[in-house]
């Protein structure tokens, strides 16, 4: 199929306009306006008391920052308490293909779970709960948002 030169120029102009519109609506990473911009990306079902859940953090991070290349616990210290759920600690790492540019950026965080900081429902699985908490912290760090 042959496209004439005028059509090609129109397509390039339209692409440039779309890029400019995106650049104008998204504030600079970490700027004063950044937090409100990112928090506005979450759907109501992804927020509990105004704070994003881990699934929402994953979705928004990929939407705004780029593809998540790796998301995994680096270290897990499981509970050793034979009389109950005990305490578990997890270090979690998220690697993002920054703005899908090929540059990889790594964010890591740690979380622990025990009966003193967790509801009984989640305390029954301390390593899994600590992993989700640490992942959420790493994603909040990557997104540079100020919330729990």
State the pTM of this model. 0.81
Please answer whether residues 139 and 106 qualify as being in contact, where contact means their C-beta atoms are separated by less than 8 angstroms. no
| pLDDT band at residue 85 under the 50/70/90 scheme | confident
Question: Mapping DSSP to helix (H, G, I), strand (E, B) and coil, where does residue 82 land?
Answer: coil
Q: What is the mean pLDDT of residues 83-111?
A: 96
Distance CA 148, CA 136 (A): 9
Q: Calculate the average pLDDT of the chain.
A: 88
| pLDDT band at residue 53 under the 50/70/90 scheme | very high
At 147 the pLDDT is 84
Please answer whether residues 95 and 70 qualify as being in contact, where contact means their C-beta atoms are separated by less than 8 angstroms. yes
Please answer whether residues 123 and 129 qualify as being in contact, where contact means their C-beta atoms are separated by less than 8 angstroms. yes
Which residue do the tokens 């979380």 mark? 111
| pLDDT band at residue 83 under the 50/70/90 scheme | confident
């Amino acid at each position: 199929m042959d496209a004439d030169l005028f059509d090609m120029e129109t397509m390039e102009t339209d692409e440039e306009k779309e890029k400019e519109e995106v650049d104008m609506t998204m504030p600079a990473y970490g700027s004063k306006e950044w937090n409100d911009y990112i928090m506005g990306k979450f759907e109501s079902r992804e927020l509990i008391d105004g704070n994003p859940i881990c699934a929402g953090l994953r979705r928004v991070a990929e939407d705004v920052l780029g593809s998540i290349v790796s998301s995994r616990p680096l270290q897990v210290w499981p509970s050793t308490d034979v009389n109950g759920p005990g305490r578990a600690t997890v270090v979690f790492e998220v690697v993002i293909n920054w703005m899908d540019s090929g540059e990889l950026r790594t964010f890591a965080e740690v979380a622990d779970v025990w009966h003193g900081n967790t509801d009984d429902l989640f305390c029954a699985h301390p390593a899994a709960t600590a992993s989700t908490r640490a992942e959420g912290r790493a994603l909040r760090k990557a997104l540079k948002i100020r919330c729990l």
